[in-house]
Chains A and B, each alone.
Chain A
Amino acid sequence: MITELEITPEILARHNVTDEEYQRIVQVLGRQPNLTELGIFSVMWSEHCSYKSSKVHLKRLPTTGARVLQGPGENAGIIDIGGDYAIAFKIESHNHPSFIEPYQGAATGVGGILRDIFTMGARPIAAMNSLRFGPLEQVKNRSIMDGVVAGIAGYGNCFGVPTIGGEVVFEESYSGNPLVNAFALGIFKKDQIFYGKATGVGNPVIYVGSKTGRDGIHGATMASAEFDEESESKRPNVQVGDPFLEKLLLEACLEAMKTGAIVGIQDMGAAGLTCSTCEMGGRAGTGIEIDLKYVPQRESGMTPYEIMLSESQERMLLVAEKGREEEVFQVFRKWEIDAVTVGRVTADGLLRVKDHGVVVAQIPNAALTDEAPVYQRPLRQPVVVSATPRPAKSSPPKLACGAVLRKFLSSPNLASKEWVYQQYDHMVRTNTVQLPGGDAAVIRIKGTEKALAMSLDGNGRYCRQDPRRGAQIAVAECCRNLVCVGALPLAATNCLNFGNPQKPEIMWQFSEVIDGMAEACRMFETPVTGGNVSLYNETLGEGICPTPVIGIVGLIEPIRHTTGSWFTGDGQVVALLGPLTASSNEYQVTLEQAFSDIEPEVNGPGDAYTLWANRLHCPPLDLRQERRVQRACLEGIQSGLIRAAHDCSDGGLAVALAEMSFSSFHSMRQGARINLTAAEFPAGVLFGEYQSRILVTLDEAHWAALEKIATEQEVELLRLGSTGGERLTIQDGGSVLIDEAVAELESIWKHSLGQYFQR
């Protein structure tokens, strides 16, 4: 064993290893570690790889169900979708790298999640992403967003996976800390699943893919620390992606799997060679011995420390059946990709790293994986920064609702995200049944009568007010989106973006979010099959809004039940499933106050919607009622009654009605005449973001049948009006609240996001 320099407190600090953790390392090894071993421990015990702060809470999430073939712990979760098929899907964050180098940070985020999918044997057939940036008025935020979107496009388009949906949100707290959460989904036959297990003592360990370079060393540790003014000097820690090589790697891996010679396989993501070796050994209870002299290297003179910690992209580690290596090599030669045996599986449970025969690191795999430290960090409920109560005005503000609607539709948070998704190839693989812009993305599964729907949802501003209910709303809204396109929600993946876990207030938010998410996922029967935790999302001590992002996949069967969120013709009945408002005095008060506050902004240049929304309290949610509404909607669709369905959430009823009236690839522009009882505060009814509401359209002839379903499900069904004409008109009895040309509203909605980038 090579002994290197003395481990000093400075070296420990640079590795984010605490004194207690260091003592534990010494105890595990029975000696002092050398620098390479310390490096290995530091990345494996980093927050990013070990989940040491979040693990105790994540256990409270439901993770099992009849359809779950693989829950958390593997590269991705796997769900049975019936017939011969299964799907693998997962979401992962790449927040820190995307702030430092937006294009490559986002691109490699996409690359990483795609590898997580095809390492299991599944061919990626869909990608989505959830993005959060600071306000676009600031040039820095525009440049980050421009780079992130281009990076996602650059990687996904070249790789050949359609990027079919997601969300883009703008809020001040993401200015110094954008969120880039990438989701991917793949499909395979149930008997073609591969796992990241190094089984079979004596089997060769094979390295395939890109050569190892000095890029990305300590990326996982970087992702486990807050940002300061010097963070941008960490740019060398960000990896560079090569989507072309990844595409070759995909084809080669899937082809090599068909030989039957592969026993286990795992991608080299965060912590590269270190993570893939010890995790594959850890899962199988075996040891792995490698010699670094065999590792393909991009440059000479790399130390064992650098080779083990490099995060060079587009690399995989696989274990093959002894004696059948040549079958595997042949496939990789065809695709002109490096593939070399670097070691073998052993029985001793150790990760043994040699360099030209000399042992440079020797650590029990279990110590790096299952037995990594777990912390029960202190929790403290923060003092809620709720809007200062003000004396109620004698009457609620009287706003011109048409002007408010126009203003709201121009907000980057509500406007069409066309500028973003047109940069993504969303049609490659010819499965995209519903194009981006609807409630959820829909792809067909060739050769079957099935389609998959998927959606990503999060709401940092609700979670900041009430993390538990905010998380419930994220799950509820995600399921609602799926139901609106005609899908039954099946299972979930989550990406939990939070601040510094060493702050008890942040950890309290985390704990609350887990509880809220667990309750909601149980209610909607959508177990969480995996995901990712991203902590330390802080810059200069300022944390982001707690932002759990949930991704849920649903099944449409048969495919003809696929439903759009756009009016499909004139003379249709427009109705609301669910309550028009909710009886929450607290929410009502913040609504009135928020409108008073933005009154001067309605005709100004600013983003009045975001200003307004940030002043709202988290709306009330009744999970049982939500489930009933969703069941009624799905039944209405499956019975062939509902022609269009649209989730009514951000920007409330008026914005949802406007969106339904706009033209899309799937439908023509279409006005509507709506009549409702808005009481004394129309703006509240029109724009309030009450939950558990779905707008639907149907033929008059089907009204009675839908009413019957609603009655059975004990859900309110309110007739609002009918489609027709070229204007969106909303009346309260005799008084007109909104009367706008749809074409004009659509033009505002369609172009305002892109205009920020023409400046």
Chain B
Amino acid sequence: MKFGVLIFPGSNCEHDAYHMVSKVLHLPVEFIWHQSKDLKGCDAIVVPGGFSYGDYLRTGAIAQFSPVMEAVRKFAANGGLVIGICNGFQILLESGLLPGAMLRNKGLKYVCRHVHVRVESAETPFTGSARAASVLQIPIGHMEGNYFVDDVTLRQLEENRQVVFRYCTPNGQITDEANPNGSLANIAGICNAERNVLGMMPHPERASEAVLGCDDGLVVFQSMVHSLEPLAAHR
């Protein structure tokens, strides 16, 4: 089982994702340069955070055109696991792999702090090891995390249980006060209808080791590993 971590010009959480997979999960992991046209046989792809192309135009707007994204689209269409974190989520939105768009935070400022999110669906390869409705403490760090989507699509997301994480209070209430960026319906993370592509604004890799004060985020990666295990055994 091998993880791939994409690198775009301006990615800056790629080393964090790499460290998490190699030193915390103790699994093989490889960097994949944005010019690459294939995914080097990886079983799961991490689109890391950062400021791809400086985010000078619109977050993720240029990265979607990188050659590697064509490979990611094919990989995802074949059921491959893709997780986009922060800028990675923004890139997946721009690439059309996930629906919706990001607006600037309601406070108009970059926000870096720990938040709480509730697991809205444990029926995804990214949350299979978590309890449904459990609360995870995971940090955010972004300027554009105010998720927006039209009413019809929102209804579809809710009906298909594609909302995977919602910002909540420490005891799991979904309130305005618990929403750090004004995102629609407190959405912190969503998956596609096929449930193999996840985008989330919080950084689970920043909450994966006790030494960092919190390892609630580890469950996301452990879930991915568990869902890939049968596949790996089959090979």
Contacts and interface: CB of A to CB of B under 8 A. Distances in A.
A277 to B, nearest CB: 29
Chain B contact patch, size range:
20 to 34
A157 B141 contact: yes
Contact of B55 (A158, A248, A432): A158
A519 to B, nearest CB: 37
Contact of A444 (B114, B143, B211): B211
A597 interface: no
Interface stretch (B14-22, B36-44, B224-232): B14-22
A544 interface: no
Contacts of A335: 9
Contacts of A245: 54
A426 B114 CA distance: 11
Contacts of B88: none
Interface in B107-133: 109-114
Interface string A432-457: 11010000000010100000000000
B166 interface: no
Contact of B203 (A423, A427, A665): A427
Given A153-B110, A244-B10, A446-B19, A430 B141 contact: no
Contacts of B19: 430, 446
A247 B139 contact: no
Q: Which 9 A-B pairs have the closest CB atoms?
A: A160-B12, A244-B54, A158-B51, A430-B16, A425-B141, A427-B206, A425-B112, A423-B110, A244-B10
B23 A159 contact: no
A658 to B, nearest CB: 22
Given A244-B53, A559-B211, A159 B112 contact: no
Contacts of B53: 244
Contacts of A80: none
Interface in A405-430: 421-430
Nearest to B112: A425
Contacts of B111: 422-423
A446 B23 contact: yes
Contacts of A422: 109-113
B9 A426 contact: no
Given A423-B109, A446-B23, A665 B114 contact: yes
Contacts of B114: 665
Given A157-B110, A665-B213, A428 B10 contact: no
B50 interface: yes
A336 interface: yes
Contacts of A708: none
Contacts of A243: 51, 54
Question: Interface of chain B, helix or strand or loop or mixed?
Answer: mixed
A160 B13 contact: yes
Contacts of A503: none
Contacts of A247: 9-10, 12, 51
Contacts of B20: 430
Contact of B112 (A242, A427, A444): A427
A164 to B, nearest CB: 11
Interface of B: 9-10, 12-13, 15-16, 19-20, 23, 49-51, 53-56, 109-114, 139, 141, 143, 203, 205-206, 208-209, 211-213
A159 B10 CA distance: 8
A522 interface: no
B206 to A, nearest CB: 5
Max chain B Cβ within 10 angstroms of own Cβ: one of A160, A432, A444, A666: A160
Interface string A133-168: 000000000000000001001000111100000000
Contacts of A666: 213
Contacts of A665: 114, 213
Given A157-B51, A158-B10, A429-B16, A244 B56 contact: yes
A445 to B, nearest CB: 11
Contacts of A150: 109
A429 B114 CA distance: 16
A425 B206 CA distance: 12
A665 B206 CA distance: 14
Contacts of A433: 211-213
Contacts of A159: 12
Given A242-B54, A422-B112, A423-B111, 5 more contacts: A243-B51, A247-B10, A423-B109, A430-B208, A430-B209
Contacts of A153: 110
A157 B51 CA distance: 8
Interface string A650-677: 0000000000000001100000000000
A242 B206 CA distance: 26
A528 B109 CA distance: 36
Nearest to A157: B110
A47 B142 CA distance: 39
A283 to B, nearest CB: 32
Contacts of A425: 110, 112, 141
Interface in A710-749: none
